[in-house]
Structures are given as C-alpha cells and as structure tokens.
Amino acid sequence: QKEVEQDPGPLSVPEGAIVSLNCTYSNSAFQYFMWYRQYSRKGPELLMYTYSSGNKEDGRFTAQVDKSSKYISLFIRDSQPSDSATYLCAMSPDLNTGFQKLVFGTGTRLLVSP
C-alpha cells in the first residue's frame, strides 16, 4: 500500500462546476500538506499549503485537512478551462529540517470543458 493514495482520474467537469480533489494517507506523522498543479509538459508548481488540520482558502481554491481521517481535499469553485491540469497532493512529516522530504500522490488529471 502506498503512503499516499490519489485517484488518477481523469475527472471531467463543465466550466463553472465545483471540483473536489482528494488524497488519503497512512502515515500519521504527516503534518504538512501541499497541493501542486502541473500543466502538461511542465513541472509542478505549488498551489496551496496547510499545516495540521483545518481549512485554508485562497481565491477560488480551498484546502482542507482532516488528520483524524487521514484525508485531505482541494476544492475549486467556479472552475475554468485554465484549471485543466494534473493536481498532485504532497505531504511531509517535518519541514523543520533542511531536507523537507515530500511524499507525493500520483496526481489527478482534471479536465474543465467550456
């Protein structure tokens, strides 16, 4: 079993829809949770970052962490065709060391149609 599980998709939605992307994990030591967005033929770029449990909002994006269930989510409101990309969750037990090793999910491919 992988430490981080993520549905690969693809997830197809019409423009304007609310999108929910999710990851589950098994390592209870994870405390830092990130979402990266990766466009085709590009490297991943950091989208959202949260520490421990709770919610964080940034524009149309909301990240949620439920450590009791070992479950994290990324919600995208009013989705746009430009949101079409692969979304990778990543997590780490400790970012207070220099290494900051991240464990990534496999990524979910999102397609938003006009």
Residues that bind other proteins (CB under 8 A): 4, 6, 8, 32, 34, 41-46, 49, 51, 88, 90, 95-107
Min dist CB 34 to other proteins, Å, is 7
Q: How far is the CB of 36 from other proteins (least distance, A)?
A: 8
Q: How far is the CB of 55 from other proteins (least distance, A)?
A: 16
- What is the C-alpha radius of gyration for the chain, rounded to an integer number of angstroms? 14
Nearer to other proteins, 17 or 22 (CB): 22
Show the tokens assigned to 86.
């692969």
C-alpha distance from residue 99 to each of 49, 61, 103 (Å): 17, 28, 12
Q: Which is nearer to other proteins, 11 or 102 (CB)?
A: 102
The rounded distance, in Å, linking the Cα atoms of 37 and 50 is 15
Nearer to other proteins, 49 or 75 (CB): 49
| Torsion angles phi and psi, residue 83, rounded to 5 | -80, -10
Please, which residue, 32 or 76, has the CB nearer to other proteins? 32
The token duo for 66 is: 């439920």
